[in-house]
Amino acid sequence: MYYKIFKLINKTKLLTPFNYKYFFIIWIANLFANIGMWAQSVASAWIVTTYHASPFIVAMIQVSTAMPLVIFSIISGVLADNYDRRNLMLISITIECLVNILITIMSFLNCITPYFLLVSILGVSMGASFTVPAWQSAVNEQVPPSKLSYAVLLNGVNYNVARAIGPALGGIMINYIGPSYVFLFNFFCYIGIIFSLWQWRRDINKNNVEPERIFEGIITALKFIKHSSVIRYIMIRSFYFSFSASTIFALLPLIAHHHNNNVYGYMLGALGLGAILGSIFVYKLRKLMGVSGLISFSSLIISLILLTIGYYNNICLLFIIIILIGIFWMAVIASCNSSIHILIPYWIKARALALYQTALYAGIAFGSLLWGRLADIIDINCTFILSGILLILISIMLINTQLPEFSSNKFCRNDDAYIDFYKPSFIFNHERGGSIIVSIEYQIKDKDILEFINTVQLIRKLRLRNGAYIWYIYRDIKKKEIWKEIYLVKNWLQHKRMLDRLTIYDKLILNKLINLLNNPPIMKHGVIFNN
């Protein structure tokens, strides 16, 4: 059976990223770190439920885990896009490691309480919030673009293999040697990932311009959301999906606590097993339905599963259902994650991943808060039914929204795009002050006007997304074949960044416009005059 599964995985070319040394080393180290993390999550949940905490306090574990990822992800995305991702990951993982040492010591001293644990989980998650965007965007530096979608999926498999092994291992350790040793085990699992990142030697692409400040980077990311339907769609879908489906993670410890110590670990293991199976079939399902179709279909299946959990509490049926949740949860998360890696330009990828993580974990945090409170007021079964109904309604409402299908190569850096052309010969405001106006004159034949208008609308999005803050297109009154594109940029430094941010796909759009022209475009630059 296992040989057949391996052959099936091999046919999908899923394992090809393992041919790249640093991806393989970091992947293995990350597997052990994830196993330790999942083992610790079982120990944490067991300690909280052992103190007979209310459903609301149990659900607060998910809130403590998710909230820092909501608050700090965008800042960490800016740092990951502009500075050394390896160093950022090393610092943040070391912080996580130090907090885990504190949890371990307090546990061995029998001083650990649910409230101390919640605060500690919050501290670990703060470190993770600076790790995740850098970690996910660093995949681009470990494998070539053609292997990127496989590498993203393998990272998802890593997480879910750990989810299959870690909770079961954690449950066994709690049963035989106690939760303190689970926390100690998690600490040792962190050592491998720190060592592998320390050994990684990145091939760093030299930036042609200086990095953005944090506030500038956040504003750029918010502007990008405004002018990119792809990231808006993914954020909306991931938020509503995780908000509705977060009942699974928030309330599963309460269902498991009615049974022996190992059941919660086995349940999380079943979830991980389902996700591994999902990773095998996700490409076939994606080819069959498309990315958007697969997200909608998987959301509907999970909503029906939530309704089933609300009506039936049979333990054997529950394990089968949890495996199905893992399959379709993986389908949604892998589809959203791969879409960002493939459809978002290289220069803002970490911030886009951070925004996606913000939406995903905001859904988990606020959903866990709501469902935990509802379970306190009514009961667990009714809460599952309500979350299932909500997910059905949301899936139907968003069923017509579509993601484009592109190759990741189109959004790589266009190496010949950057031109460090002349600065003005006269003295003007320093690079962080003084607006720049760019005027481009086009000469268009009457027969090409409709195609020109359609193309120039794409260019409008391109300019505003890459750094312009005002954009207009004008037609000359006397010479109707003359059109002028005018846009304003905050300063000369931002103008240079715009040139550096051009991707191969951007260049294709610009070339399409140039092919419509009678004569080469006439470009002029001006700087604001301050008396």
Question: What confidence category does residue 419 fall into, taking pLDDT thresholds of 50, 70 and 90?
Answer: very low
Question: Looking at residue 269, what is its pLDDT?
Answer: 77
Does residue 82 belong to any structural domain of this protein? yes
Gyration radius (Cα) of the chain, Å: 26
Separation of alpha carbons 40 and 57, rounded Å: 17
Q: Are residues 281 and 321 in the same domain?
A: yes
Q: Is the pTM of this model over 0.95?
A: no
Q: Are residues 357 and 445 in the same domain?
A: no
Q: Are residues 370 and 445 in the same domain?
A: no
Q: Are residues 303 and 450 in the same domain?
A: no
Which CATH number goes with the domain that contains 316? 1.20.1250.20
Residue range 155-171, pLDDT digits in tens: 878 887 887 788 888 88
Q: Are residues 23 and 52 in the same domain?
A: yes
* H or E element, residue 468: strand 468-475
Q: Are residues 277 and 346 in the same domain?
A: yes
Separation of alpha carbons 289 and 295, rounded Å: 9
**Picking from 101-115, 263-277, 299-313, 377-391, which range would have the lowest pLDDT averaged per residue?**
263-277
Domain that includes residue 294, residue range: 17-201+213-410
Q: Are residues 404 and 422 in the same domain?
A: no
Q: What is the largest CA-CA distance in the chain?
A: 88
Q: Are residues 244 and 273 in the same domain?
A: yes
User: Which of 252-256, 345-349, 365-369 tops mean pLDDT?
Assistant: 365-369
Does residue 206 belong to any structural domain of this protein? no
Does residue 208 belong to any structural domain of this protein? no
Please, are residues 43 and 179 in contact by the beta-carbon 8 Å criterion? Answer: yes
Q: Are residues 115 and 191 in the same domain?
A: yes
SS3 letters across 281-315? HHHHHHHHHHHHHHHHHHHHHHHHHHHHHHHCCCH
**Tally of CB atoms within 10 A around 424:** 11
Separation of alpha carbons 412 and 435, rounded Å: 28
**Picking from 246-260, 401-415, 459-473, which range would have the lowest pLDDT averaged per residue?**
401-415
Q: Are residues 316 and 404 in the same domain?
A: yes
Does residue 229 belong to any structural domain of this protein? yes
Among 395, 410, 425, identify where a domain stops: 410
Give all strands of the β-sheet with 436-443 in edge-to-edge order. Answer: 468-475, 482-489, 436-443, 522-527
Count of domains forming the chain: 2
Among 379, 410, 441, identify where a domain stops: 410
Residue range 323-333, pLDDT digits in tens: 898 889 888 88
What is the mean predicted confidence (pLDDT) over 247-266?
72
Separation of alpha carbons 219 and 205, rounded Å: 24
Question: Looking at residue 206, what is its pLDDT?
Answer: 56
Higher pLDDT, 407 or 360: 360
Question: Looking at residue 1, what is its pLDDT?
Answer: 44
Residue range 303-317, pLDDT digits in tens: 999 898 888 767 777
What is the mean predicted confidence (pLDDT) over 392-407?
75
Does residue 4 belong to any structural domain of this protein? no
* Helix 349-377 with 55-82: angle, nearest 10 deg: 170
Please, which residues have CB within 8 angstroms of residue 308's CB and are 6 or more apart in sequence? 317, 321
Residue range 108-129, pLDDT digits in tens: 888 887 788 888 888 888 888 8
Does residue 61 belong to any structural domain of this protein? yes
Separation of alpha carbons 226 and 405, rounded Å: 20
Does residue 12 belong to any structural domain of this protein? no
Q: Are residues 401 and 420 in the same domain?
A: no
Which CATH number goes with the domain that contains 517? 3.30.70.100
Does residue 2 belong to any structural domain of this protein? no
Please, are residues 263 and 313 in contact by the beta-carbon 8 Å criterion? Answer: no
Residue range 33-42, pLDDT digits in tens: 889 888 888 8
Please, are residues 94 and 112 in contact by the beta-carbon 8 Å criterion? Answer: no
pLDDT at 9 > cutoff 90: no
Among 392, 410, 428, identify where a domain stops: 410
Question: Looking at residue 205, what is its pLDDT?
Answer: 59
pLDDT at 341 > cutoff 60: yes
Residue range 484-497, pLDDT digits in tens: 999 998 888 888 88
Q: Are residues 378 and 459 in the same domain?
A: no
Separation of alpha carbons 68 and 78, rounded Å: 16
When the pLDDT of each residue in the chain is averaged and rounded to a whole number, the result is 80
